[in-house]
């Protein structure tokens, strides 16, 4: 009969390697039964400066005792796992301290921000709760400090587990709020389509952030809480919270206008982030956007591979082909055109644009400029002449921040003005102005924009040697062998762990699905299907080692990562 080693066995093993070389820690790899949980030491670091050792703790539901209602729905389960990750992190922080060389003594779990994302850091199901975390096994120089290790693994770890993974020791009210809010958010996102809306901003929402580098809500007497103009006021009914009133933005073309510094970009940024659920107290909990919204911006310098941007750019100098356009150094306008076409290819239903981050010549060409520079000499069909095509032919709406050009009044379904951080409906007045001035500029299009060419990634362009590094660095960078994928302008990528997942997804997807026949979209969808079926762990390159720091990105960010890989070659379908 097999008896699983116990925590006492672990303690004995540690005592036996005291003051030995660091490599002796390898011998504690394995599984240990504690009195109320199981510890899995999956991978032991090779030295005190290497990435810390990977471990898991599993508590049976017989002990953890989470009510099944908390993880019955997918959004509920994700929110519960998110809550437990935060709780584990807070408890781990109390005990995590530097005890020796390098990362000695550091106990850590994935870090959550203001969004509630599906993560690999925590697993809850009807059988158990499992936390995936890391421990810097303590050393002085390269010498095992067994006493310190016993302290961490035999005393502190049980305390952390007790205070973070047992239902009885948690604040049930807060936990329920966390889970129910996520269910409400998901329900509201689903309701938007039925209501003919693309975004909803609840009255009372706090949109501005603390600072340019903090995603926490701005606080203090100068914060203006959001209030819908009567024209767009909608009341929705949520499963837990009941009736909630706020501004509903209908499908179509919506302009957000207003003076500089009156809160236009802040509103748009909140809408951008509304594709994700937020934690209670964030201020944007009930700012909800359709899941298929994509922020579009100019991104000069990016590479583009085989994209048909001819709907926006034509007649380039030297007859460069724009129906199958590739460049390693796009301009502001060509990059913005490529971003739109790629988003359409990925299935977007809502584009979000801010004049602050758009190429001016891509957005507008006014009447005077039309008279001075002949149509034949201008390769760009500005966005203003395509925004209705996108709606009519792709059912893709646009929300656009413009403070600088009234020409857009003619193509807008509604105009919302931000004034002292509050929205007003100014549609009627904008229409009057557009009608009175009239005829200033002409629509300049030769052919409608009504199709997107799907692209097939070529396997030869996505092959790496096994020694090539494929990994994420922070939020904005992925290293694929010798190439760097720059994601800093992919603005709806919000979490380092999403970027880590993107690196793993690219590797997984290319090995499994890039075959020279599948389109990029089919590849992305196949991966997402696997993840949905098997869980996010599936993308991990490690076997027998937990992937504790992945968070799920959307299909748009997955496609964006492929599209920004400079080695990517495609053929059009």
Where on the chain is the footprint of Mg ion (CB under 5 A)? 265, 356
**Residue the block writes with tokens 């024209």:** 231
Binding range to ligand ADP, per CB under 6 A, among 72-80, 253-261, 382-390, 531-539: 253-261
227 near ligand ADP, rule: CB under 6 A: no
* 216 is an interface residue for ligand ADP by CB under 6 A: no
Q: How far apart (Å, rounded) are the C-alpha atoms in residues 559 and 160?
A: 39
By CB under 6 A, tell whether 257 contacts ligand ADP.
no
Distance separating alpha carbons of residues 202 and 241, to the nearest angstrom: 12
When binding is defined by CB under 6 A, the residue of 4, 15, 90, 223 that contacts ligand ADP is 223
Site for ligand ADP in 408-427 (CB under 6 A): 418, 421
Task: Of 133, 138, 132, 145, give the one whose Cα is nearest residue 103.
Answer: 138
Q: State the binding partner of 283 from ligand ADP, Mg ion, none, CB within 5 to 8 A by kind.
A: none
Options 86, 119, 178, 264; binder of ligand ADP; rule CB under 6 A: 264
Could you say which of ligand ADP, Mg ion, none residue 260 binds, taking C-beta under 5 to 8 angstroms by partner kind? ligand ADP
Sign of the CA dihedral running 308, 314, 316, 321: positive
Contact of 128 with 61, CB cutoff 8 Å? yes
Buried b (16+ CB within 10 A) or exposed e, 105-129: bbbbbbebbbbbbbbbbbbbeeebb
Quote the CA–CA distance of 198 and 570 in Å, as a whole number. 32
Q: Which residues pair with 352 in a beta bridge?
A: 295, 399
Among positions 15, 90, 168, 224, the unique one binding ligand ADP when judged by CB under 6 A: 224
Please identify, among the stretches 93-101, 218-226, 361-369, 522-530, the one whose residues bind ligand ADP according to the rule CB under 6 A. Answer: 218-226
- Of 397, 198, 354, 398, the closest CA to residue 264 belongs to 354
Is residue 228 near ligand ADP by the rule CB under 6 A? no
Residue 156 vs residues 36, 39, 53, 151, 460: alpha-carbon distances, Å: 14, 13, 16, 6, 50
Of the candidate spans 89-97, 259-267, 344-352, 507-515, the one that interacts with ligand ADP by CB under 6 A turns out to be: 259-267
Centre a 10 Å sphere on the Cβ of residue 345 and count the other Cβ atoms it contains.
19
Identify what 262 binds: ligand ADP, Mg ion, none; CB under 5 to 8 Å per kind: ligand ADP
* 222 contacts ligand ADP (rule: CB under 6 A): yes
Min dist. Cβ of residue 258 to Mg ion (A): 9
Question: Which 3 state secondary structure label does DSSP give 288?
Answer: strand
Taking CB under 6 A as the rule, which mask of x and - marks residues 175-214 in contact with ligand ADP? --------------------------------xx------
265 near ligand ADP, rule: CB under 6 A: yes
Measured from the CB atom, the residue of 80 and 400 that comes closer to Mg ion is: 400
**Shorter beta-carbon distance to ligand ADP: residue 220 or 438:** 220
Q: From the list ligand ADP, Mg ion, none, which binds 208 (C-beta under 5 to 8 Å, kind-based)?
A: ligand ADP
What span, in angstroms and rounded, lies between the C-alpha atoms of 145 and 143? 6
- Does position 508 interact with ligand ADP (CB under 6 A)? The reply is no
Sign of CA dihedral 103, 105, 107, 113: negative
* DSSP state string for 190-212: HHHHHHTEEEEEETT----EEET
Confirm or reject binding of residue 246 to ligand ADP (CB under 6 A): no
Residues that bind ligand ADP (CB under 6 A): 207-208, 218, 222-224, 258, 260-266, 418, 421
């Amino acid at each position: 009969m097999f008896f699983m080693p116990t925590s006492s066995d672990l303690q004995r093993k540690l005592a036996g390697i005291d003051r030995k070389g660091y490599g002796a820690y390898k011998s504690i790899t394995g599984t240990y039964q504690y009195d109320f949980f199981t510890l899995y030491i999956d991978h032991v670091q090779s030295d005190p400066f290497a990435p810390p050792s990977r471990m898991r703790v599993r508590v049976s539901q017989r002990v953890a005792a989470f009510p099944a209602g908390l993880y019955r729905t997918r959004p509920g389960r994700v929110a519960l796992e998110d809550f437990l990750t935060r709780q584990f992190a807070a408890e781990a922080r109390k005990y995590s301290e530097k005890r020796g060389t390098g990362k000695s003594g550091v106990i850590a779990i994935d870090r959550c921000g203001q969004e509630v994302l599906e993560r690999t850091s925590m697993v809850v199901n009807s059988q158990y709760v499992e936390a995936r975390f890391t421990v810097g096994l303590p050393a002085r120089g390269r010498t095992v400090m067994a006493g310190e290790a016993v302290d961490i693994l035999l005393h502190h770890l049980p305390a952390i587990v007790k205070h973070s993974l047992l239902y009885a020791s948690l604040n049930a009210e807060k936990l329920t709020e966390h889970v129910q809010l996520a269910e409400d958010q998901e329900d509201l996102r689903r309701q938007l389509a039925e209501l003919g809306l693309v975004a909803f901003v609840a009255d009372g929402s706090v949109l501005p952030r603390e600072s340019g580098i903090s995603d926490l809500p701005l606080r203090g007497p100068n914060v203006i809480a959001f209030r819908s103009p009567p024209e767009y006021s909608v009341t929705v009914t949520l499963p837990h919270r009941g009736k909630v009133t706020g501004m509903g933005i209908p499908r179509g073309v919506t302009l957000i206008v207003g003076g500089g510094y009156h809160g236009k970009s802040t509103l748009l940024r909140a809408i951008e982030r509304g594709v994700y659920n937020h934690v209670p107290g964030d201020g944007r909990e009930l700012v909800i956007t359709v899941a298929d919204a994509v922020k579009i911006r100019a991104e000069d310098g990016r590479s583009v591979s085989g994209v048909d941007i001819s709907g926006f750019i034509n007649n380039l100098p030297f007859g460069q082909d724009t129906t199958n356009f590739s460049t390693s150094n796009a301009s502001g306008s060509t990059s913005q055109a490529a971003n739109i076409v790629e988003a359409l290819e990925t299935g977007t239903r809502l584009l979000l644009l801010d004049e602050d981050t758009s190429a001016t010549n891509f957005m507008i060409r006014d009447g005077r400029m039309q008279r001075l520079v002949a149509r034949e000499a201008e390769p760009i069909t500005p966005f203003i002449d395509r925004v209705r095509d996108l709606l009519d032919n792709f059912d893709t709406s646009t929300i656009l921040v413009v403070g600088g050009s009234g020409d857009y009044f003619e193509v807008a379904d509604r105009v919302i003005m931000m004034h002292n951080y509050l929205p007003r409906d100014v549609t009627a007045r904008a229409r009057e102005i557009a009608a009175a001035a009239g005829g200033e500029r002409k629509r300049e299009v030769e052919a409608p924009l009504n199709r997107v060419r799907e692209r097939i990634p070529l396997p030869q362009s996505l092959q790496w040697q096994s020694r090539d590094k494929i990994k994420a660095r922070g939020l904005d960078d992925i290293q694929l062998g010798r190439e760097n994928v720059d994601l800093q302008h992919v603005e709806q990528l919000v979490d380092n762990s999403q970027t880590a997942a993107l690196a793993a997804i690219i590797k997984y997807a290319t090995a499994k699905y890039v075959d020279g026949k599948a389109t990029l979209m089919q590849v992305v969808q196949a991966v997402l299907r696997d993840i949905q079926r098997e869980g996010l762990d599936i993308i991990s390159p490690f076997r027998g080692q937990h992937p504790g720091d992945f968070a799920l990105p959307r299909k748009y960010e997955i496609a964006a990562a492929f599209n920004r890989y400079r080695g990517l070659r495609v053929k059009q379908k």
